[in-house]
Structure 1
Amino acid sequence: MTLTDHLSSPRLPSVGLLSEGQMRGGACVFCGSVATVDLGRHDMRCLGAVVHWFPRACRPCADGGYVDHLIAAAMSVCRELPPPPQLTDLYRRLQHEVRRRLPIAERAAAVAGQGTMSCHAHQRVVDAAIDALTDAAVDDEPSPLVLAMRCHELGRRLHDLVPYRPCGDS
């Protein structure tokens, strides 16, 4: 997978957090339902060796529905604090997805015309997303509760960015 592919495609969950069915391709890597869509070859390091992995997804998640699962997970982290590895994985996936959608929102604000209500609406979404991303840069190793609150905020920002679909998503 090239750097461009990595930046333009959704971030997959960490392999260590997947079920056996998700690992062997029978279940969607995002939601766990029956997988029908191949997501292509992915390489990962395991004990110093490069291992090829061929994840799969269900049709709704492959068509962009995985974002709904990310948002739902982000909204629930403060109620049900997941284990730190799962929380860290969710946080990285949320950051990745917000960063994927941010340029589309910035383009929409630029095209809308300076001073228009549409421009201000797009810019509000952009500014809030940038604030959520930069707030995280302050602390390298936050406590699980702080990380959960950051996940929740990124989930809110991702919810605002849902209309801004990256190229390649349906």
Structure 2
Amino acid sequence: MLQEDRDLFDTLRAKHWPTVCAQMLAEPPAGDLPRLFRSRWVEFGERIRVCTADDKLLTKALRAWLPIYDGHGLTLYRGESAARYEAGRLGFNWTTKRATAEIFGSGWNALHPGGGCLLCCDVPAGAIISAPDSHSRWLGEDEYVVEPAMLEGVVVIAEYPRSGQQ
């Protein structure tokens, strides 16, 4: 199913993502599908996560289909909503660029109740699923995909008030 439609990731509806993730585990990717999925993950990763609503299933699918990271551990940053951090629901996308993470923490994530925060973590190589692709680098994000459940020692290094509040 997944091998036959290169436009699949552009046409999926929210209700389909749990089924697609299960199919990804049953059908190893062929050709340029890992590259294509990596590019779509850059743009729609948060939406895919929300629609899948199962981080364990999503993590398995990401490990099965994204290009494999084969480097060493890294210090990575993430702009996160304070509420999501406090709930222990860290995001999958992290960067080596502190300034990029600050933009996300003080911008989009600061719109949520409780505001945003800037996180830092020394991420072991085994927790890094995939390195940045050319699209992520072109955007200037240098986004690494990590397995949030494997992160330890995450530190809040900055807090941002909810946007629009003094």
TM value normalised by structure 2: 0.28
Return the structure number with greater helix share. 1
Q: Calculate the TM-score normalised by the size of structure 1.
A: 0.28
